[in-house]
Amino acid sequence: MNEFERLLTQGMADEPPSPDEDFVRGVARAVAAEERARIVRLAIITCIALCLAVAFGFGLAASWKAVAAVWSSPPMPQPFVACGVAVLSAILLLPLMRTRE
């Protein structure tokens, strides 16, 4: 490294001596707002996923009822099937709950 480059390196090495608390507070506020937004996003996605799962479960239960009306002895009791379908739907919808990091 020659003299000129050393001069440039020295010039670029300077930093303010103490932290800028206003800047730190600004970043802290932005981070807090981002966290709140993230929680709201998660809550909305969870709510939508649950609603979809319940609606899907009810839909299937209704269609099962129609099947049961035709077929007098279904292989499984209806509520178990409805719950099973709801849980399965929730599991399938779980990836939607992940927010982009």
Positions that interact with another protein (CB under 8 A): 4-5, 7-16, 19-21, 23-24, 26-28, 30-32, 34-35, 101
Q: Which is nearer to another protein, 78 or 99 (CB)?
A: 99
Q: Report in angstroms how near the CB of residue 91 gets to another protein at its nearest.
A: 23
End-to-end Cα separation, the chain, in angstroms: 42
Q: Which is nearer to another protein, 24 or 92 (CB)?
A: 24
Q: Which is nearer to another protein, 20 or 95 (CB)?
A: 20
- Residue for token pair 């009822």: 65
